[in-house]
Amino acid sequence: MAVWIQAQQLQGEALHQMQALYGQHFPIEVRHYLAQWIESQLWYAVRVQAEEAKAKRLLDNLVAELQRKAQHQVGEDGFLLKIKLGHYANQLKSTYDRCPLELVRCIRHILHSEQRLVQEATNVSASCGSGGQAMDSLSQRHQQINQAFEELRLATQETENELRNLQHNQEYFIIQYQENLRIQAQLSSLASLPPAERTQRETTLQSKRATVEAWLTREASTLQKYRLDLSEQHQKSLALLRKQQTLILDEELIQWKRRQQLAGNGGPPEGGLDVLQSWCEKLADLIWQNRQQIRRCEHLTQQLPLPGPMEELLSKLNADITDIISALVTSTFIIEKQPPQVLKTQTKFAATVRLLVGGKLNVHMNPPQVKAVIVSEQQAKALLKNESTRNDSSGEILNNNCVMEYHQATGTLSAHFRNMSLKRIKRSDRRGAESVTEEKFTVLFESQFSVGGNELVFHVKTLSLPVVVIVHGSQDNNATATVLWDNAFAEPGRVPFIVPDKVLWPQLCEALDMKYKAEMHSGRGLSEDNLVFLAQKAFSSSSNNPEDYRNMTISWAQFNRESLPGRNFTFWQWFDGVVELMKKHLKPHWNDGAILGFVNKQQAQDMLLSKPNGTFLLRFSDSEIGGITIAWVAENPNKAGERLVWNLLPYTTKDFSIRSLADRISDLNHLLFLYPDRPKDEVFAKYYTPPLLVCVAYFFPRFTTPNPEPTGGNPTFMDQAASPSVGNPNNFGIYPAMSDTMLDADGDFDLEDTMDVARHVEELLRRPMANQWSSQQS
């Protein structure tokens, strides 16, 4: 089948030449669906001038294989294919029944031409690589795997040929052995003959027996050597199979699982399983062929016992090949779609498990049932040690049984759990300062099935990625921290679910950046300046040099157990609040580059004071989770010639649910340029809400700048005058002056009660029109 797989990858003229090999004389569909069988037959062992009987057997076997393939087609998708394959079987039978050698010539020509085209394409690729266009590591690895499969196919075909020769020689040996017994019986019956005749016949029979026994002695030695040589070849094949299986299961499949785990943190998708499944199916096919060959060798040995170590050798080979196929089956029972890693009780969730070799081993002929249970970290450890857990679970999952289904079109055997729900959870005793959102569970999927007509029975199980169980949405933030830390820093082959308590700061930066980019759906992640800001927050540091943090470690406690200095929230809670705010309301502005965000108050002041009045920037609040504030530079109304940086009290999700950031910036006329020098309308105009086509005559709220009371000393939060240019009293009616102003150059302040035009308009528009007029009249 390796040749056909490579032939399907041909392109351009080579592909056209390959397609031209097929037609009514031999349909390409037959080549496709019987690829493995066709490549395993001894087409070149038939002498096309003399061995018509062999050719006839090949034709009959081809037709029978097509009919068998047709009968195995099930479901709606398989109906048409069943009819088509049956038609091809009849067509080939009628075409070549009187001239089966023509079929052999035809298939020889096809296989030879395909191999030539594939080899030419491979040579072209190699020459391109030598010219400086080397294949990337992925392509090289895939080519290495495919080459190993071709080597295994040839080795398996060679042992099959040797086994057939051995069987043929042994059958002839048995015939000669029976002949020797017949001669001995004839010698025993000579006693009843007259002496003269007995002597003559005895001499002839003794000579004949001596010849046969000499031949049997030599042939017995030859058969024993054949058997030993074949066992040695099988040992080499098993070594190649182990090597290939290790490469696929311990490297390729483990890498896929690692990508799946990182995808839980926002990493790129883990990719499909089709290539992995095709490799695993090839492995299963080759392993099974070798196993059947070894069993046939055992049968031949039992049929004709000869002195020597063959029984022990074959017994070990059989045990080894069974171990190999057991490892393949148990390792390829995997979770294609993980359950959510933050799992809320009484909430529906889904998962999908898949057996990559299910179709090849015909497991779907008796579809197995898969059961899902939730187990604790300790129970997971016991399971991996094969210790009995007394069928314990740590909770109850509803709708936790599902039958595996075979999908003919894709060749996949999988179980889709669509409506599971965690009804209850049983928690273990927590350690030290560990909270409920640090406790990890896992969903165990297990099943049992047999292959080879109940010849081998497998009990398979697989564990999901760790899940954190919550009972309320307020726990989601801390549960997500546990999941992110585990996904980012878990090592392959770990004991469930051990992760390091400390990691290097750059490692955490990579995880945070991955999470942030995924939530923003953007390639714009966290810059080096952003990461320095986060390091300053995490370590309570003032250094602006990224190199100072390269070798620093951050502990889990610093990440999400201990509050930041002077705050009532952790580093993660602050960061996750920023992510949630951006994801829900400000994602487009981040992707436009309009939000600096990770800037502290002092940095904002230093940046803005070098810019013209009216320049502003957006930064995340240090004091409030999920808050963003506007800082801008303007004149100090209390002191001519002095410029100050002003800050609004932070906006949160609640505020943006009422009115968008763009509209709020539009409302504030004193905001002119987005840092460093972009006119605000150029940046935000595309997000402004179109004007309402509703008459709101006489209701145009606007603010004057109140005259501050004379005070001594520097202005404070409560007595500083308002920023200039907030309103234009020439165009609108005037509200009475407010007694308290909320503008502060040093602290945060709020326009909720003084200058948020948007909110006053909204309040007016929410009133019933009749009430507005009646209020106006009164």
Q: In this structure, are residues 349 and 343 in contact, taking their beta carbons and an 8 Å threshold?
A: yes
Region of poorest pLDDT, from 49-53, 91-95, 467-471: 49-53
SS3 label, residue 674: strand
Q: What is the spatial distance between Cα 349 and Cα 685, in angstroms, rounded to a whole number?
A: 41
pTM listed for this prediction: 0.70
Nearest to 756 by CA among 573, 630, 582, 610: 630
Query: Is the predicted pLDDT of residue 162 greater than 60, yes or no?
Result: yes
Domains, the chain, with CATH or none: 2-132 (1.10.532.10), 164-328 (1.20.1050.20), 333-472 (2.60.40.630), 502-575 (1.10.238.10), 594-777 (3.30.505.10)
Tell me how many helices (H) and strands (E) the chain has. Answer: 25, 19
Cβ-in-10-Å burial (0-12, 13-18, 19+) of 186 comes to: middle
Query: Is the predicted pLDDT of residue 754 greater than 60, yes or no?
Result: no
Q: Which residue has the tokens 């963003």?
A: 628
Q: What is the mean pLDDT of residues 294-298?
A: 94
Query: Is the predicted pLDDT of residue 295 greater than 50, yes or no?
Result: yes
Query: Is the predicted pLDDT of residue 74 greater than 70, yes or no?
Result: no
Question: pLDDT category, 75, cuts 50, 70, 90?
Answer: low
Query: How many residues comprise the chain?
Result: 778
Question: pLDDT category, 49, cuts 50, 70, 90?
Answer: low
Q: In this structure, are residues 14 and 113 in contact, taking their beta carbons and an 8 Å threshold?
A: no
pLDDT in tens, 351-404: 999 999 988 888 878 889 999 999 999 999 988 887 665 567 889 999 999 999
Q: Please give the full DSSP string across 184-208, using - where no structure is assigned.
A: HHHHHGGGGS-HHHHHHHHHHHHHH
Q: What is the pLDDT of residue 281?
A: 93
Q: What is the pLDDT of residue 777?
A: 37
